[in-house]
Amino acid sequence: MTIVTTTAAAPREVHVDGPDVAGARIAVTGAAGFLGSHLCEHLVRAGADVVGFDDLSTGHVTNLAAIADHRAFEFRHQDVIMPCRIRGGLDAVMHLASPAAPGDYLARPVATLRAGSIGTLNMAEVAQAKDALLVLASTSEVYGDPLEHPQRESYLGNVSPIGPRSVYDEAKRFAEAVAAAYARLGTRTAIARIFNTYGPRMSSGDSRVVPTFLRQACAGQPLTVAGDGSQTRSLCYVDDTVQALTRLMASGYAGPVNIGGTAEVSVLYLAELIKHLCGSVASIEFVALPADDPRRRCPDISLAARKLGWRPKVSLADGLARTLAWYRGQVDISVGARR
């Protein structure tokens, strides 16, 4: 793929082979978040110039420590619902900004809706003005509580527009509609539907299942499993998700395309696995199932395999072990700081 960047001096061509983005200039929203920070670091290490945006409502600047002083990285503390001005040329806008954990988007329902609507419109305007590619980080939540299994990109979903989770589900569905509308107007766009990514840098207060179980198991607390734990998730390690997003950006394929793991496991099995990895003898405590909680979640990733040449490489056991090692390191740092 060839990305053309326009500068005040003269246009330059950047040749991108697969996930190689050396020389490209890329804006990333949600840059200080869990996934956004990993994406920014990968892009900078791969030779791209990155402008990161984050309002720090759920992200943390410490997530960007590895590249904070890098000459190819610029950070802007800004909410994407505000008009965004970027000087010079731009090759791509990767729009990840949004609360993503249920605890965060349920606590910030209007902010979540604004990020998916106004924020996406703003970033689409930037992409259009710069003749850049807009890559939208959408979500498996657009499928709601799916009646199709595994979920293909052609499935239209089973979503409640008024349930408590709708603030996130419908924000992302609207964001996809924005990307599709701008594509029909001539802007290059790509849509990634991301399934249950996990890994280092998930906040200790993150309400998603992996950090919740790790926090509880390491503290010797009961692991709280919603319902009877038979609902399933298909987890994808963050490095694999970042590779897929970068490949999508370089592919020329508009999507939508599912990005996620294919090892479908029950939430109860995941709790037991994390207990084992942590060496915990804590009990399992069953709690009420949240409203509209998906019963089965597993992507059909055959499209990603064909169009992006991508499949996840990191096994669940390996990914959880890496995440646990990072989490324990953070706990040790926190304890040491209080001594």
Active site residues: 168
What six digits make up the tokens of 292? 């509209």
In the block, which residue shows the tokens 């109860």? 268
CA distances, 283 to each of 216, 222, 280, 311, 325 (Å): 10, 5, 9, 35, 22
Q: State the Cα–Cα distance between residues 298 and 279, nearest whole angstrom.
A: 28
CA distances, 237 to each of 44, 62, 200, 241 (Å): 20, 20, 9, 7
Q: Indicate the burial class of 325 (C-beta count within 10 angstroms; 0-12, 13-18, 19 or more).
A: exposed
How many other C-beta atoms lie within 10 A of the C-beta of residue 263? 14
Q: Dump the DSSP string for 182-197.
A: HHHTT--EEEEEE--E
Q: How many CA atoms lie within 13 A of 41 on its CB side?
A: 19
Give the CA-trace dihedral at 241, 55, 335, 101, to 10 degrees.
Answer: -50
Instruction: Provide the 8-state DSSP code for 151.
Output: B
